[in-house]
Amino acid sequence: MTGGRIFTIALIVTSVIGAIGIFVGGWWIVFLIGLAVGIVLPARAALILGALFGLATYLEPLLRDHLIYGLGPTATSLAAIMGYPHQPAIPIVLTCALGLLLGLAGAWLGSAGRAFFQPASSR
Amino acid sequence: MRLANFAAAIVFSVAILYVSFVGAGPLPALGPAFNPGTGAWTMAFDASIGRETQHLTGLQQPVRITLDRDGTAHIVAQTDHDLFLAVGYVHARFRLFQMDLLRRQGEGRLSEVVGKKALDSDRFELQLGLLRTAEQEWNGRPGPSERARMAILAYTQGVNDRIAQAEFLHQLPAMFTLLGYQPKPWTPIDSLIVKGDMTQTLNFTDTPLVMALLERSLGPDLVSKWFPVLPPNPQSPYDPGPYPARPTVAALPAPQISGAEAVAAADAYQRLASLPAGLVATGGASNNWAVAGTRSASGGALLAGDPHLHLTLPAIWYQLTMDSPSYHVAGVSIPGTPVVLIGHNQHIAWSLTDAQNQQTFYYSEVEDAAHPGQYSWNGSWRRYDTASYDIPVRGGPTERLTVKLSVHGPVITERGQTTTVWWAGNIPSQDLDVLLGVDQASDWQQFRDTLRGWYSPTHNFVYSDDKGNIGMISAGYYPHVKSGRPWLPMPGTGEDDVDGTIPYDDIPQVYNPPEGIIWSANQRQVTADYPWYIGTASNFFDPGYRANEIHRVLSQGGKLSAADMMALQTDTRDYLASEMVPILLTVMPASPARDLLAGWDYRMETGSAAATIWWAFWQTYIAQAFDPWWKAKTVPVDRSEMNDSLGQYLESQVMAGSTVCPPEGCSPSAICPTEECSRFPLNVALDKAIRSTLDTLAKSLGADPKTWTWGRVHQRTLQNLAKITGLDYGPRPDRGDANTPLAAPDFPSSHGPSWRMVVDWGSGTFMGIYPGGQSENPASQWYTDRVDTWWDGRYAPMLTADQAASAPGATSWKLQP
């Protein structure tokens, strides 16, 4: 398999696991998966995958809900609660950013930790 | 390099995880709050209502619920128990956060979820004692009737069924997620607390404290003149007598308010004034009336009711119909309680307004250094009881609060002189059981007998039935004070204690009056001949202008219809303006502003410039008449707070051809404060006030009076209950003022007709509307879907369960054991 295909499969698998996690309330699972990704994959790939799967994991339920229920009123209401009435993009961006950053943070920490603890000879 | 990278990764991860787990500043914990699967985004799913079958613990038989197009819930149960369980479930399904806020407010637990900014409210509530009273009502002897106990327990089960379901399915209302807490299980005490909240909002007052401060600064002569026991203006009492004979108690010599009493009054007054709006009753504004079958176009009795409350989103009301073997009732309920408070059943209809009689009394306890921790009562020294509470505070240490209690009630301040408060809302009562009885009553006798047990808040319950009868009774507890001046803080020595209530047969009431009409609008219900003390004009009966206007319209003759009732509920004619403006016109020189006033129909419509001129003039005139006194006497009470009473006095003077004497007197004749200034000075005063008014309006609204429309200065807002301004409706220009049947006090107004209902038994017309919607979820179509209908003065039919089931747009739920 090519690297691109492996990356795609990894993105799908991590996103599916992440989605299952967040649907049972485990929003933090994105960080843990990112951590594992960071430990397993090379640094650059891990960071990209961590960010992308984190984003995908948080974005997918929003897209699904939007298709079924329409997210406009909800996003508008959340923006109003946050103090930004009539700016529904803000909670959407915040949610996606949260997923992205959780995945990225996990991947970065895993990658950096692996590099730090790995003996120099094995690198 | 590796270390630096690792350290940076740790710092970054900790930062992200911190704001996700804990939050930052005003932000909640972002992880759970914005989890797209289970966080606040689930309000999108919650807003989507479809056919459902739910299995609920505790249900005995299947229950059918039809949600009609506007979300009104029609519940059909095979047992009474299941009916109340289903009501609890439906309330919690659509209003759980509101219910939690209501119980937290009354139980002094708001700080636990919003932090120390709610501490003053929590301390006050625990001092006042809603929680103690609710616990006595539920656990005391004799306790609730079997009927009430069953209803409340079943209701509680239904609420808890929904809480458990929502937690399991991650469907709790978004505000729980955003505030980062989960609701505790509902208890019967919580339902009694919610009822207590309403009692407090409607009749816990600080008026005796205010009166003490006024008397101390203005002196007894001016206070008795400007804030008399009996109103100086006519108020269209609905019960004109005759009244039972009773020896009149001779007036007592008026002792001066002492310095210590004034300090105590000022401290308690300031404390109560600083509390969030709604915790202390500040006046009433509701309407209801009935027309006998003999006076109606349909031949059946008519009834109209529109209780005026703080207008919030979600509204205080939840509309439903309840059908079971013993109940067939439709109307509005308060989420948290299992009853229809205003509505109709198969035979009778009812609505209510606040009766406004004095139910709050303050006592100055007598203490001395030789008896620490004690007070003198009935000739002996008694130790204060105490009750202690822990107030958990989000983000801070738990606060310990100890409340001292005398025989009169809780200590409200110990500055100057220890002052306690006696409040009828603290008398354990079975008011929910009374409402269950009202829901089941089928004639006046049952209705009246049931209300015998109603304590607080005292309400004018209007009644009509399917046989053409009408009635009104101002049911509730009318404290009788042994002696003294109950409108001021009284000595706590025992001589001035509350020793009972006015007998039920003697309280204001009428049944099938000969003129065929009955009305109430928070006015004093009885004439000056009524032998019992029920409160002063300023504590806190309405000035009577709405009552006068309603009476004027209903008594015009001719047959009345449901359409007439609706027109009167949305009428904006200002009765006071109709009295004052013709007199004002006599002193105004020709001008565009005068032309506007001369051609005005006294209606406070958004497009009326005359309405703006009138309102601004009246406020200016009150200010010019009384502010010099406030300054000269250094009155520590905001003058505008007293405008209702001062306006009544001024109205009576103007009608008599005189005006308020200024502190320096009206040279050479009037000697203040005993005399007022007669005709010529009245003209001068009116001229001065209108000139000042026109100058001010020109500066603020422009030179052309035609553009000074009421809608430019008067708006209305429906405020989000959680005080999230982005979820408010409005502000939007709106009609009406404090004196019009369609009440809209304040700028912007957030108080007014919280539910309008019209019943015509002859034509089988049942109509109702409230501003807001059935759901507290702001993403739901049922959050504000009723607002426009209400705003436009239109109504929605109150359907039966069967009608709703076949109506377009209805959705059905099945609740299964």
Residue in B16, B46, B48, B718 to test binding to A, most A beta-carbons within 10 Å = B16
Question: Which domain-ending residue is among B713, B744, B774?
Answer: B713
Name the closest residue on chain B to residue A34, using Cα atoms: B13
How many H helices and E strands in chain B? 25, 32
B782, B90 Cβ separation under 8 angstroms? no
Q: What is the pLDDT of residue B426?
A: 94
**pLDDT < 50 stretches in chain B:** 250-251
Residue B391 placed within a domain: no
Closest residue to A94, CB basis, from B26, B34, B47: B34
- Say yes or no: B36 contacts chain A, CB-CB below 8 A: yes
Contact B41 A109 (CB under 8 A): no
SS (H, E, C) B169-234: CCCCCHHHHHHCCCCCCCCHHHHHHHHHHHHHHHHCCCHHHHHHHHHHHHCHHHHHHHCCCCCCCC
Query: Which residue in the set A94, A98, A112 is minimally distant from B9, CB to CB?
Result: A112
Which of B6, B13, B17 is best to mutate for the A interface (most A CBs within 10 A)?
Answer: B13
Distance from C-alpha of B240 to C-alpha of B615, rounded to nearest angstrom: 31
DSSP line for B241-272: ------PPPPPPP-PPPPHHHHHHHHHHHHHH
Q: Which of B32, B34, B43 sits opposite A95 (nearest CB)?
A: B34
Cα(B749)–Cα(B606) distance, integer angstroms? 13
Report how far residue B304's alpha carbon sits from residue B733's, in angstroms, rounded to the nearest whole number.
26
Contact across the interface for A25 and B32, Cβ inside 8 Å: yes
Does any domain span residue B330?
A: no
In a domain, B697, yes or no: yes
Give domain status of residue B642, yes or no: yes
Is B44 in Cβ contact with A71 (below 8 Å)?
yes
The structural domain count of chain A equals: 1
The domain boundary, picked from B655, B680, B713, lies at B713
Residue B37: domain span: 2-64+75-195
Number of neighbours of residue A120 by Cβ within 10 angstroms = 6
What are the CA-CA distances from residue B415 to residues B121, B262, B263, B268, B405 (Å)? 19, 10, 7, 9, 16
Look at the block and give the residue holding tokens 């900790």: B14
- The residue among B34, B48, B178, B721 with the most chain A CBs within 10 A of its CB, best to mutate, is B34
The domain total for chain B is: 2
Note whether B810 contacts A: Cβ–Cβ < 8 A: no
Q: Give domain status of residue B86, yes or no.
A: yes
Does residue A108 form part of some domain?
A: yes
Task: Indicate whether B208 belongs to any domain.
Answer: no
Question: Which residues of chain B are within 8 Å of residue A59 when distances are taken between CB atoms?
Answer: 36
Which CATH number belongs to the domain containing residue B709 in this structure? 1.10.1400
Q: What was the pLDDT predicted at B494?
A: 94
Cα–Cα distance measured from residue B732 to residue B735, given in angstroms and rounded to the nearest whole number:
10
* ipTM for the predicted complex: 0.94
The reply to whether A10 falls in a domain is: yes
DSSP 8-state code for residue B440: H
Q: Are B76 and B323 in contact (CB under 8 A)?
A: yes
**Contact between chains at A95 and B44 (C-beta distance less than 8 A):** no
With respect to residue B769, please indicate whether it lies within any of the assigned structural domains. no
Q: What pLDDT is stored for residue B261 in this prediction?
A: 81
- What pLDDT is stored for residue B250 in this prediction? 46
Is there a domain that residue A122 lies in?
no
Does the distance separating the beta carbons of B16 and A112 come in below 8 Å?
no
Residue numbers of the domain that contains A9: 3-116
Interfacial residues of A (vs B; Cβ cutoff 8 Å): 19, 22-25, 27-28, 31, 58-62, 65, 68-71, 73-74, 76-81, 83-85, 91, 94-95, 98-99, 101-102, 105-106, 108-109, 111-113, 115-116
Q: Looking at the domain assignment, is residue A121 inside a domain?
A: no
Distance CA B488, CA B172 (A): 48
Residue (of B727, B725, B726, B743) closest to B735 by Cα position? B743
What pLDDT is stored for residue A123 in this prediction? 45
- Whether A77 and B8 lie within 8 Å, measured CB to CB: no
The residue from B713, B740, B756 where one domain ends is B713
Do you find a cis peptide bond into B514, omega within 30 degrees of 0?
no
